[in-house]
Amino acid sequence: MPEIASIPPLTKLSEEEELFRDTVRDFAEHDVRPRVAAMEKAAAIDPALLAKCFELGLMGIEIPEQHGGAGGSLFMTVLAVEELSAVDASVAIFVDVQNTLVNNLLLKWASDDVRRRYLPRLAADLLGAYALSEPESGSDAFGLQTKATRRGERWILEGRKLWITNGAEAGLFVIFANADFSRGYKGITAFAVERGCKGFTVGKREDKLGIRASSTCELILDGVELPGASVVGEVGKGYKVAIETLNTGRIGIGAQMIGVARGALDAACKYVKERKQFGHPIGEFQAVQFQLAQAATELEAARLMVYNSARLEDAGEPYTMQAAMAKLLSSQVAERVTSLAVELFGGYGYSKEYPVEKFYRDAKIGTIYEGTSNMQLNTIAKQILK
């Protein structure tokens, strides 16, 4: 791996973090990379890789050891997502959503009973999904129309969810619905819903530009009946659950984007040493060198912001603004770096025979999910003007 795109010293990684990072990197190179092209063509994850992610402990990084997890940190999740994304962003998003949106949410908000029921399974073999978005509710996340009606000790869910990552494979869904529309967003409540519930259907799978092996699906809730114990957090506090979870999720997306950018930059650095024009490798031309230097500098800045926001959350410090900044910058940098990589490859960069066109397509989602770039700017502006 070229030094230009190596992990920076930041705060020196502990021996445990270095070992963990290297283990994930080895898995990405030897197990994931040989399968990338086939998964991209099939638009589906290889089940063997998902099983291996569980075996390596990548699906329960922050779950305490008492619940069968690795007992690690958010920073370790960031390291894993970056390493996987440098090879395939689709595999990385399985790990990211599981850890930052599902496990993290349950650890912070769920009752002891819900934690005991689901955390050991999420660490072992149960894939999770986070279901907030709807056909008419995207950036206006609290405009959701899915309805939760209490009937005695039970709840009935009615509505549709859209753009749900991991939807095709997940066995557990954290679904947000409004239990009292008269209270607006203060009626929103989170529920733990298992696949197979009567009235619950996974609908259409989206045919996407990038991260194609990652499933993105519609959920149909037609009278889904749940026990009262399925509520995650408190009734009417789902908006707070969603906001705080997405703040963490943005750090995970930042890690994905710096990984995508790093993968593209590594490929470009290797290619410019091999590709000759006018009798010289194009990497010897100053114009090419300067573009690579600029890309490496921007990637380093984005990586430091992502790492810093993860360290802040792990330390229990405020991180909302830093997470928004990290997600904003890393997604912008990923777009620029992957675009440059395609250009440096020339016509080959536009071909599916070479890796950079996939990195380029995978980068685009970073400016959209877990809050668009405009929503990140909105968050940052509110924080600095407080």
- Say if residues 107 and 157 touch (Cβ distance below 8 Å): no
Phi then psi dihedrals of residue 177, to 5 deg? -145, 160
**Among 298, 313, 335, 370, the one annotated catalytic:** 370
Q: Are strands 128-131 and 172-178 parallel, antiparallel or unpaired?
A: parallel
Three-state DSSP class for 192? strand
CA 237-71-106 angle, to 5 degrees, is: 15
**CA dihedral (216, 264, 72, 105) positive or negative:** negative
Region of 239 on the Ramachandran plot (φ > 0 left; ψ -120 to 50 alpha; else beta): alpha
370 as an active site residue: the answer is yes
CA 369-93-323 angle, to 5 degrees, is: 55
Three-state DSSP class for 171? coil
Q: Estimate to the nearest angstrom the gap between the alpha carbon of 306 and the chain centroid.
A: 13
Check residue 354 and report its DSSP letter. Answer: S
Region of 2 on the Ramachandran plot (φ > 0 left; ψ -120 to 50 alpha; else beta): beta
Helix (H) or strand (E) run with residue 217 in it = strand 216-227
Structure tokens at 362: 């995978």
Per DSSP, which regions of 245-319 are E strands?
276-277, 280-281
For 164, what's the count of Cα atoms within 13 Å in the CB-facing half-sphere? 31
Give CA–CA dist 165/216, Å, rounded. Answer: 5
Structure tokens at 373: 């770039």
- Residues annotated catalytic, as ranges: 370
